Amino acid sequence: MNYETRVDLAGGADLLAGDTDAEAGQLRRRRLIIIALIVLALIAAGSMFYFGKGEESPFPPADGDQVPTVSVVAPGRTAVEGTISATGTLAARREMPVGVVGEGGRVVSVQVEPGDWVGAGQILAVIDRSVQSEQAASSAANIDVAKADAELAQANLDRALKLVDRGFISQADVDRLTATRDAAVARVKVAQAQYRELLQRNARLNIVAPAAGLVLERNVEPGQVVGSGSGNLFSIAKGGQMELLANLNEDDLAAVSVGAAATVRPVGSDRSFVGHIWQISPVIDPQDRQGVARIALSYDKAIRPGGFASVDIDRGAIVAPRLPESAIMSDEKGSYVYVVDKDNRVARRDVKVGIVTSEGIAITSGLKGDERIVMRAGGFLNVGDQVNPVLGSEDGQATES
């Protein structure tokens, strides 16, 4: 009897301890809930204080009698000057490859090095002509032989003409001697032509510069045997003129014109060079959808063909409205802005963007400039929403409307 009583009392104590733990857990949960509600109330109060000061609110208030405040700007029309930035490769504007013109032979000496300036017709490399010189001498001797034969034929003809009247020589003999004389004279002319041909061939043995310019490459050494299949032995930039092959996308290529000024900055140099576009590519590369604008540059030792450079191209000025980037949105239909009408309701206006500058983006079509354009928070608005517009400047500061 006493044992059972003690057991019952112990079990009751355990139940009382379990109830106490449960009540403590519920108390902690209630405290956490109260703290969370207080934090939410503070956040809500702060939001009401912030948005109640007239600042732009991206969300409409819960009260249906109020409307959100948005900053708007009337951009007007200004002259917008823009530049197009691009990169490209430096090259010689007119690169002239120079190779073997004649029959070739063994190179005796090379007269120039890369970086040298040469004149038109200047010898770049000398080819051995010992055999060709002997051939020219032989041809010159053939001229003397032909002349001697011609003189002999003329003398025979002269003597025959003196004997015709005496009847010692027939007219047929005279005709034969005349033909012999004419053939001998013709052989003299043939020998002379062959000699001149050999002289011209020998003159073409040497490698000469076709025009004045800057030597870019030298691909031949003394002792080398060269011929018509030897390829380019020298490369010359005609007049030392250089250029930048600037890669532009389709839109930028259509915006520039021949004669536009450009500032080129070669990689590895702290200098910049002024040039101008002298040719625009008539085709677009189907792989990368880019074309080439060729920018003419004067010679400078800092401009090295094959090097990389950046360029800023002047694309001219246009008169158009200019908006900050935050005011322009886009979707599958293209770029657009939100316009606030006379009833303070939001309307969509499709636009076309143009020159991008540090001060904003030019709008080439879609706006007159006197509209009230939503500057920010356009993504939180819908067409037809009523707003409270506050006139602001392009830097985002609100002003009195």
Do residues 366 and 385 share a domain? yes
Does pLDDT of 23 surpass 80?
no
Could you tell me if residue 7 is inside a domain? yes
Give domain status of residue 360, yes or no: yes
Q: Please indicate, yes or no, whether residues 23 and 5 belong to a single structural domain of this protein.
A: yes
Question: Which pLDDT belongs to residue 49?
Answer: 52
26 shares a domain with 1: yes
Q: Does residue 400 belong to any structural domain of this protein? A: no
Higher pLDDT, 247 or 54: 247
Q: How far is Cα of residue 361 from the mean position of the Cα atoms in its chain?
A: 23
pLDDT for 233 equals: 93
Residue 195 lies in a domain: yes
In the chain, the percentage of residues whose pLDDT exceeds 70 is 85
Cβ–Cβ < 8 Å for 278, 262 = no
Do 142 and 187 sit in the same domain of this protein? yes
CATH assignment at residue 146: 1.10.287
Is pLDDT of 96 > 90? yes
Domain with 328 in it: what CATH number?
2.40.420.20
The pLDDT of residue 372 is above 60:
yes
Query: 315-367 pLDDT, tens per residue?
Result: 777 788 888 888 898 888 889 999 999 889 999 999 988 777 777 888 888 88
**Spatial distance between the Cα atoms of 228 and 333, rounded to a whole number of angstroms:** 61
Our count of domains for the chain comes to 5
Q: Residues 122-176: pLDDT tens digits?
A: 999 998 888 877 888 888 888 989 899 889 988 888 888 877 777 677 788 888 8
Q: How far apart are CA 245 and CA 91, in angstroms?
A: 7
- 348 contact partners, CB below 8 Å, separation of at least 6: 336, 337, 338, 339, 383
For residue 168, being part of any structural domain is answered with yes
110 & 140 share domain: no
Same domain? 189 vs 218:
no
Task: Judge if 214 and 111 occupy the same domain.
Answer: yes
Q: Is 199 within the bounds of a domain?
A: yes
- What pLDDT, in 10s, does the model give residues 193-225? 988 888 888 878 889 999 999 999 999 999 999
Tens-place pLDDT, residues 174-184? 888 889 999 99
217-235 pLDDT, tens digit per residue, is 999 999 999 988 888 999 9
CATH code of the domain containing 116: 2.40.50.100
Categorize the per-residue pLDDT at 9 as very low, low, confident or very high, splitting at 50, 70 and 90.
very low
Token readout for 274 is: 């002024």
Burial of 17 (0-12, 13-18, 19+ CB in 10 A): exposed
DSSP annotation of 392 reads B
Q: What percent of the chain has pLDDT over 90?
A: 34
Looking at the structure, tell me whether residues 183 and 312 fall in a common domain.
no
Q: What is the pLDDT of residue 65?
A: 53
Q: Which residues contact 136 (CB under 8 A, 6 or more apart)?
A: 195, 198, 199, 202
Q: Which candidate, 391, 345, 395, 401, places its Cα nearest to that of 71?
A: 391
Q: Both 294 and 331 in a single domain?
A: no
Residue 57: pLDDT over 60:
no
Kindly state whether residues 211 and 197 are assigned to the same domain. no
Distance CA 129, CA 106 (A): 9
Q: Other CB atoms closer than 10 Å to residue 206's CB: what's the count?
A: 17
In terms of domains, do 2 and 36 share one?
Answer: yes
How do residues 69-94 score in pLDDT, each as one tens digit? 888 988 888 877 778 889 999 999 99
- Answer whether residue 399 shows pLDDT above 50: no
- Domain assignment of residue 397, yes or no: no
Residue 145, in any domain of the structure: yes
Q: Are residues 177 and 298 in the same domain?
A: no
**Which CATH number do you get for residue 312?**
2.40.30.170
What is the rounded CA–CA span in Å between residue 266 and residue 290?
21
Domain-ending residue, one of 301, 317, 333? 317
Cβ of 47: how many Cβ atoms within 10 Å?
Answer: 13
pLDDT of residue 368 exceeding 80, the answer is yes
> Could you list the residue range(s) of the whole structural domain that residue 18 is in?
1-51
- pLDDT at position 40 is 77
